[in-house]
Structure 1
């Protein structure tokens, strides 16, 4: 392994440490902790009940015996009512925000990740909910809820859900195009696991700040309804206390001050803490590149026996919608065959359609792509028309994938080892401990000098060459029958490229895998491949044995590509440098 495969580890400060150093977070948390802890301990802090009246203490001033904050117009102890109101506020916040999170986040993940029909259905439903007048609806439904603020907050949580749904849906629409999400799908992970581990972890920052606002909003709405006198008069609440203090403002102004101050501090602290949490959880990690998500439109497959071939593509055609509404074909009538244990090089310039062909085989074409014709058979089984659930039984197990951009295909939120273990357990029926041992052995096999350190590192702490070795280890962990390698050495320097090619050659021979190598580099083809297929403008113009094609290319395009390779002997036989001119 070359020195370029090593990278000095960078300190990754845990979120809780960043929070502990943030004065805003510490102050907000301290205020909330004091308020709600005192509310929880209300019966121990004060000897009065929230509705206990003492006619001799009506409008008692601050500092009165037995009433440190005074008493209200009914002789009720203000401190006791404040502490019990904090309990009411906490329950209101938890119910309203909890319902909104459960509905909004779940629907946002589903609506953003899955197809247009699901998105249309969820958007229609939440648009309908948004047409309801919120506070007015809560007042109208008060007879139905019986004045119970908990039932009212449950309904309010449903009314809050559309705003959270839109936030999550928009975030998911962006993150589902990330390369590491495609890599997880190719590794055979199911949609539920991808959403839980790779999508939810990325959108959590905005969700947390939205939840912080919702906590404050829930408390404010419950207090507002209580201020208007809507609901049970027996429930202590900041709003009810503010209403009482407002009526008595000119007689005892302090009665209005205490609940207003408590309500303002509580809602403001939630917002400040939410901002601090968002900053801490988002961090400053590297941002991955993007690529289209993997959804395919199924068509009726063409007939083909596929006998004797591991992978057989016949007449494949892929198109994309054009601005005028028509379909623009990018891959047309592509046919190729990969035998068991064979290495096929799919060669062409950028835009020739070779990556589209590979993505169609994996079932991870962009959502707008349309497979307009053809057949893709793996061991005789038709892949065109299979849904993601069926394809996930093959991806990562029978068919593996090595991407072009190694750093972008590793989730920056998780350690390298955790991602590899997850892929191994999705592909093989092994325990977490067995998967860990298998991953460490594979990391050593692919030439990583310190597998344990690499296992415990985050993606930004390893080099590009090491990241490519990690992805190769993950790809071959299940001993796949077909390995699709998409420009596996393009992003690496020349020395590391040679090492990666040697590694791929050794693993292919050792495991007996068939390999579909997507590349533009004829040197890589000559080094690794048994057969070659040359693509131009979405079609295969020539295919055959590598030696035959290199020796006697038949198509003018193939000859042009081969002629463009610098030939050292031709340079030495040319005229001296002083007599040559560059054209």
Structure 2
């Protein structure tokens, strides 16, 4: 938990509470549920009769007879007392059945949905559980449980867990590909922390709805078993009361009506309140589009000297026919400390795939056919996720293309930055908060305190990009990968962000791998350029060389497509001492 998590969660809870209080459906159903539960809890006070006490003088007695407010049943027991104690039986059944189903189903759904290698195992286990005939199994096991409805509901909770598992798993499969989840992984957070802090809150809506149905199902099954006469007759239950009232329907129909009304009100209000609570918790939350979850590749090989050395990197994806299609073919790069290398190419050229391979966040279906990626002499391909996590945020950092989509809308800006700093550096909450505020000021945010307390939708795109840059350089990484850092920004803000990146690079002496399609950005900040086309590096060289005398036809075509008559062209070399970024117009 971060330094600002507690107040932030309190604000979120207050906001959800206000939405609930303004929702008539939530207010009415919650009031009915609360009334029913309180009546059950006050059963010893509201009635003087034991629910199993039978009086021959009160068999089928009318309402109000001798202290029997709702009359007596065909055994002479107080209907009012049995009704109140039946509420307690149903409440306990709902709590046991739903709790066990949620603990098992949600835990397995988070793990199975997030970890591809464990999904097959969880699928097999829960598919096996689903083959069991639930109601029949509960009846068969009744001799073993001794008829105790609490044990029966515990078994029923296990039988309910596959439904919760499938709901959670499906939600996790969608959410784990979100950019803010990938950003959390790049920050070096553990899988457990990501699941608890970022994935679980994003899937809670369907789980809340499922919880309401689980409670209703538990109550219904317990009542159904009691209606069939399965279990001790001494346990007060709506099902037992309905069964007795059904046999006495023509003589005293109210004996059937009272438990049916309370049971119906209880289960329907649970479902309706679950819907209202889900809507209140979700609010107007918008989930950004995402990228696939990563899988560590495996490859070995020597690499040239340099801070980052990529040699003969080849990445492929399986086609529907089972063959592998290469999207990156034989890419080799060298990036020196303090240098900015521009990786340029059209969409689909493979530049982002190359950057993701360096970060270790390739999609799970990606296959590294061959190659080597070394960071300061250490081979990255083949490292375990735990080992990569130790590098992310410390030795290597990432600035994404879409700043708003990479900030989790559930948390404030400060909470997310503090979380990343603590994960990467092990700093205390107070120290991490001070460091984040200093970073926000350093990246040019006018009011760091206000930005710290703001949610992503409350800041501009340019400010969001500055926030992400602050988080990326918080631990002074040796390598910063910036993936189209100015694409979503207007021209004025683009220039400011580029100036900031240049200043931070010089100040921290870090290397920058700049992934872009914009030669204007390249001319402004890059020392060297590598041009990619259809997964291959077609030309490399200094910025002066590329702009002054590009050799490859594809490079000249790219330059010609964005430069006008007054701009530097391949047939008009630029003087080596001329500042490229200041003599071009875009």
The reply to whether residue 244 of structure 1 matches residue 241 of structure 2 is no
Contact 2:149 2:222 in 1 (8 A): yes
Tell me the TM-score normalized by structure 2. Answer: 0.93
CA displacement, residues 502-532 of structure 1 (integer Å, 9 cap, x when unaligned)? 1111111111111111111122122212221
Contact 2:65 2:71 in 1 (8 A): yes
- Partner of 1:553 in structure 2? 550
Contact 1:138 1:155 in 2 (8 A): yes
User: Tell me, what secondary structure is at the counterpart of 2:390?
Assistant: coil
Counterparts of 1:209-248 in structure 2, within 5 Å, are 209-248=209-248
CA distance in 2, matches of 1:280, 1:394: 39
Counterparts of 1:333-344 in structure 2, within 5 Å, are 333-344=330-341
**What is the deviation of 1:118?**
1.4
The reply to whether residue 539 of structure 1 matches residue 540 of structure 2 is no
Counterparts of 1:101-500 in structure 2, within 5 Å, are 101-115=102-116, 117-296=117-296, 298-304=297-303, 306-307=304-305, 309-500=306-497
**What is the deviation of 1:15?**
1.3
The reply to whether residue 93 of structure 1 matches residue 94 of structure 2 is yes
**What is the deviation of 1:567?**
4.3
Name structure 1 gaps, 5 residues minimum. 1-10, 572-583
CA distance in 1, matches of 2:341, 2:53: 85
CA distance in 2, matches of 1:347, 1:565: 13
**What is the deviation of 1:435?**
1.4
The reply to whether residue 23 of structure 1 matches residue 24 of structure 2 is yes
Tell me the TM-score normalized by structure 1. Answer: 0.93
Contact 1:286 1:460 in 2 (8 A): no
Contact 2:299 2:368 in 1 (8 A): no
- Partner of 1:579 in structure 2? none
- Partner of 1:42 in structure 2? 43
Cα–Cα, structure 1 residues 287 and 570, in superposed 2: closer, same or farther, change >3 Å?
Answer: closer
User: Tell me, what secondary structure is at the counterpart of 1:569?
Assistant: coil
Contact 2:149 2:231 in 1 (8 A): yes
User: Tell me, what secondary structure is at the counterpart of 1:518?
Assistant: strand
Contact 1:482 1:514 in 2 (8 A): yes
**What is the deviation of 1:455?**
1.4
CA distance in 2, matches of 1:451, 1:88: 54
User: Tell me, what secondary structure is at the counterpart of 2:559?
Assistant: helix
**What is the deviation of 1:231?**
0.8
CA distance in 1, matches of 2:171, 2:287: 14
**What is the deviation of 1:343?**
1.2
Contact 2:16 2:280 in 1 (8 A): yes
Q: Which of 1 and 2 has higher RCO (CA within 8 Å, sep 6+)?
A: 1
**What is the deviation of 1:113?**
0.8
CA displacement, residues 381-429 of structure 1 (integer Å, 9 cap, x when unaligned)? 1111112221111111211100001111111111111111111111111
- Partner of 2:52 in structure 1? 51
User: Tell me, what secondary structure is at the counterpart of 1:196?
Assistant: helix
Contact 1:353 1:537 in 2 (8 A): yes
**What is the deviation of 1:550?**
2.5
Task: Tell me the number of residue pairs that the alignment of Structure 1 and Structure 2 aligns.
Answer: 557
CA distance in 2, matches of 1:238, 1:323: 55
Tell me whether 28-37 or 559-568 shows the greater mean CA deviation: 559-568
**What is the deviation of 1:552?**
2.7
CA distance in 2, matches of 1:509, 1:367: 36
CA distance in 1, matches of 2:101, 2:476: 44
**What is the deviation of 1:119?**
1.1
Contact 1:346 1:534 in 2 (8 A): yes
CA displacement, residues 209-247 of structure 1 (integer Å, 9 cap, x when unaligned)? 011011011001000001111011121111111112122
User: Tell me, what secondary structure is at the counterpart of 2:496?
Assistant: helix
User: Tell me, what secondary structure is at the counterpart of 2:347?
Assistant: coil
- Partner of 1:61 in structure 2? 62
CA distance in 2, matches of 1:434, 1:252: 73
Tell me whether 401-410 or 49-58 shows the greater mean CA deviation: 49-58
**What is the deviation of 1:204?**
0.4
**What is the deviation of 1:250?**
2.2
User: Tell me, what secondary structure is at the counterpart of 2:257?
Assistant: helix
Cα–Cα, structure 1 residues 279 and 501, in superposed 2: closer, same or farther, change >3 Å?
Answer: same
Tell me whether 358-367 or 275-284 shows the greater mean CA deviation: 275-284
**What is the deviation of 1:489?**
0.2
CA displacement, residues 333-390 of structure 1 (integer Å, 9 cap, x when unaligned)? 1111111121111111111111100000001111211111100111111111112221
CA distance in 1, matches of 2:509, 2:486: 21
CA distance in 2, matches of 1:61, 1:512: 90
**What is the deviation of 1:282?**
1.9
CA distance in 2, matches of 1:455, 1:175: 25
CA distance in 2, matches of 1:397, 1:260: 63
User: Tell me, what secondary structure is at the counterpart of 1:544?
Assistant: strand
User: Tell me, what secondary structure is at the counterpart of 2:68?
Assistant: coil
